[in-house]
Amino acid sequence: MTTKIILLRHAEKPSADGTVGGVDASGRPNDDDLSVRGWQRAGALARFFAPGGGSLGVPRALYASRPTAEHPSRRAVSTLQPLARWLGLPLNQSFTCGQEPALTQALATDEGVTLVAWDHRGLCRIAQALVGAAAPDHWPAGCFDRYWIFSRDADGWRLAPQPQQLLDGDD
């Protein structure tokens, strides 16, 4: 049974004004991927969630939204790829943006700590499926340095928003 679900937004993306571009893992320009700072965050998250890295527990399941023609962003996948490699875990990309209800059902069947990277709009739908009206109704558009922890107890899920505090300038 899942004891903890951690939701985080994918790491930093290219800027809307074009001054900061995206790059793929090889450094080639790709605006559907992370910015350089986003890749730095992905690496920092890998260290944070690896054994001995933080107090939240080591994830036993990793989920990221699968890119599609309608939503071609690779940012959620790129955010968790370094951690998946580090832990030797598969990165579950069975769900796409818009399939949050099905994803939430799958999350409840995992064991231990589960980590999810997603688009900021879908994070609220996942949270609402877990805790109902107690969930935030939005994730700030420019916020990449927080995560939401959902812990299970006898009464259901409890939400605790937290700052990541991984990179210089984080909240």
pLDDT of residue 91: 98
Please check the confidence at residue 74 and state whether its pLDDT lies above 90.
Answer: yes
Q: Residue 3: pLDDT band by 50, 70, 90 thresholds?
A: confident
pLDDT band at 116 (very low <50, low <70, confident <90, very high): very high
CA distance 137 to 153: 23
> Are 124 and 137 a contacting pair, CB within 8 Å?
yes
Range 132-147 average pLDDT = 94
CA atoms within 13 A on the CB side of 83: 32
- Indicate whether 166 pLDDT > 80: yes
Q: How confident is the model at residue 108 (pLDDT cuts 50, 70, 90)?
A: confident
Mean of the pLDDT values across residues 123-138? 94
Rounded-to-10 torsion of CA 151, 154, 157, 158: -70
How would residue 13 be classed by pLDDT, with cut points 50, 70 and 90? very high
Which domains, ranges and CATH numbers included, belong to the chain? Answer: 2-163 (3.40.50.1240)
Quickly state the pLDDT bin for 109 (edges 50, 70, 90).
confident
Range list of H helices, the chain: 36-49, 75-87, 100-107, 120-131
Q: Give 21's contacts (C-beta < 8 A, 6+ positions apart).
A: 14, 29, 31, 35
Grade residue 1 by pLDDT with cuts at 50, 70 and 90. low
Sort strands 112-118 and 2-9 into parallel, antiparallel or unpaired: parallel
Does the predicted model carry a pTM greater than 0.85?
yes
pLDDT tens digits along 33-63: 999 999 999 999 999 999 988 888 999 999 9
Positive or negative, the CA dihedral 141, 146, 151, 155 is negative
> Taking residues 147-158, what's their average pLDDT?
92
What distances in angstroms separate CA 166 from CA 24, 53, 83, 100, 108, one per listed residue? 21, 11, 15, 27, 28
Mean pLDDT of the chain: 95
> Is the pLDDT assigned to residue 148 strictly greater than 80?
yes
H helices, E strands: number in the chain: 4, 6
User: pLDDT exceeding 90 applies to what percent of the chain?
Assistant: 88
